Structure 1
Amino acid sequence: MGKASLDKDADGGADGKPKAVSQTLLRGLDVIDAVVDGPLTLAALAAKLQLTRSTTHRLAAALIDRRYLVFTPRTGYQFGPKLLELGFAAQRQTDIIQVARPHLEALAADTEDTVHFGISDGDRALYLDKIPGRRRVEISSRVGDRQPLTATGLGKALLLDDVPARWRTLFDADRANGAPAADYDIWLQRMEAYVAAGRAYDLEENEDQIRCVAAPVRDVKGRIVAAISVSSAAQYMADGRMAALSDDVRGVAAAISADLGWTGRKR
């Protein structure tokens, strides 16, 4: 079925909704793809997409509203500032993963445990990389997962520079959104200790029988831009081993930070 045919049944199948939503999303992406080589007028864009002018205008207007496109009368539709922002964000993520990867692989080999690497994504921790350990331990995380910041070791490491007021806001929001129940006073006491130690723990707070040690990664200005963690089954993560791992995890996080330009002093 071509795009011209799709244009005729935009409201989808029997109930219309799933089909219409997926078609609208795909068409929106088609609009963005269509202007990759330069600006297009409404007529040229509609012809290229094989859609009616009214449908094309509606799609383009939605993309303009979200800053993915801009429109100027003399040139037509072209890329907007949001796409530039996303391009820079994607470049930063790709670069930071490439910088971190050798360090993560070495840490996984040394500890024999699963190593994660992630960043803050709004009010969640976004997992960008995962190196499985050699032990027979199943950890449910996947690259692309978004986890509660206040319930994961990696997430808490990302929060070490934040103020307690934001901690509380995130803590309450995470519990309201289904994060495992926790006592805030105990959580706060631990976070204050984590700040002093320069690393964070997950003490089976996010996944039963899974513990981890995490530390923040800083950029050239000393800002926390990512975090790493070593995770394993609780039987391999007694308090003594977690304390011993803290030096290793902090050291690897510092090495990645140094590769990103961090000299140990905030600018």
Structure 2
Amino acid sequence: MRDVNAMQDPKEIGALSEDAASARAGAAALTLFKGLEVLSRVAKGDTTLAQMAAALSLNKTTVHRLATTLVDAGFLSFNPRDGYTLGTKLLELGYAASQQITLTRVSREHLRQLSIDTGDTVNLGVLDRDQVHYIDKIPGSRRIEVRCVVGERQPLRHTGLGKALLFDESEDVWREVFQREAALFPRYRYDLRQWLEVMRGYRARGVALDMDENEDHIRCVAAPIRDMSGKIIAAVSVSSVAQYMDDARIETVGAYVREATAKISAEFGYR
């Protein structure tokens, strides 16, 4: 008997594979949506499977499967007496969201002034797991604009923001960051020894640089923002094309960045 696939047009097989992948993606999206609905019902006071199933028009088995997954991930908690309640993971996310909203609100005018003083693009970023999360941007006034999108994430090792966010970490953590990102981005201007030496120098100066490391011909100068306890909560960078950022200007821009981050840190109680 001949293989059925052998008699099919390769294009037809490819189309079937794409249809299957699309169907799986659609099913995953639907499951995610239902999971979010379960969270919403618990937030509104539905603490039992029966209540959630009735409100969502789902059977108890489906609701139990979704709720169990959410409990495992920390988004819900469960005990037999109280039923389902919102989990600690949501507290973490809520706190992170409030921090970012507060950061952008408090920092905005300082970032705007920094952009006016330098004429360059100014970015505000926070540490999000193992990456820099860009949460605000003030465009520069130069003819050439540096590409950066609020909401995007970038590596730590390559970026000025990433390096500044790592200033208080131990050298063991620096090594871990370097090695983890080396596996993802093997081509880099520094080896581990050189990068550690560079990081020591940046930390001593209080300013980190990106010298064409993340994007060709783009240079950045960055410094951290600290809260009342002295903890680094964010970083600010000024980015420009290399023709506007020679060594002398890096020093000038670095002074502006340090001044801006000192003012923002003061608003968070840092002295």
Contact 2:139 2:145 in 1 (8 A): no
Structure 1 distance, partners of 2:171, 2:228, is 25
Structure 2 unpaired stretches of 5+: 1-18
Q: Which has the larger radius of gyration?
A: 2
2:232 aligned with 1:224: yes
- Structure 2 counterparts to residues 1-267 of structure 1, below 5 A: 14=20, 16-178=23-185, 180-184=187-191, 185-263=193-271
Structure 1 distance, partners of 2:143, 2:172, is 40
> In the TM superposition, what is the alpha-carbon distance from 1:227 to its structure 2 partner?
0.5
User: Structure 1 residues 179 and 230 mapped into 2: Cα distance closer, same or farther (>3 Å)?
Assistant: farther
User: Structure 1 residues 180 and 22 mapped into 2: Cα distance closer, same or farther (>3 Å)?
Assistant: same
AA partner of residue 142 (structure 1): V
Percent of residue pairs bearing the same amino acid type: 49
Structure 2 distance, partners of 1:119, 1:249, is 16
Scaled by the length of structure 1, what TM-score is found?
0.90
> In the TM superposition, what is the alpha-carbon distance from 1:180 to its structure 2 partner?
4.4
User: Structure 1 residues 140 and 179 mapped into 2: Cα distance closer, same or farther (>3 Å)?
Assistant: farther
Structure 1 distance, partners of 2:108, 2:187, is 30
Deviations 1:94-119 (A, max 9, x none): 11211111100111111110000011
Structure 2 distance, partners of 1:175, 1:137, is 30
SS of aligned partner of 1:207: coil
Q: Aligned-pair RMSD on alpha carbons?
A: 1.5
User: Structure 1 residues 42 and 177 mapped into 2: Cα distance closer, same or farther (>3 Å)?
Assistant: same
Q: Greater helix share, 1 or 2?
A: 2
Structure 1 unpaired stretches of 5+: 1-12
**Matched pairs, number:** 251
AA partner of residue 197 (structure 1): R
Structure 2 distance, partners of 1:187, 1:71, is 47
SS of aligned partner of 2:210: strand
Contact 1:117 1:130 in 2 (8 A): yes
Contact 1:180 1:206 in 2 (8 A): no
> In the TM superposition, what is the alpha-carbon distance from 1:14 to its structure 2 partner?
4.4
User: Structure 1 residues 65 and 161 mapped into 2: Cα distance closer, same or farther (>3 Å)?
Assistant: same
User: Structure 1 residues 164 and 75 mapped into 2: Cα distance closer, same or farther (>3 Å)?
Assistant: closer
> In the TM superposition, what is the alpha-carbon distance from 1:87 to its structure 2 partner?
1.2
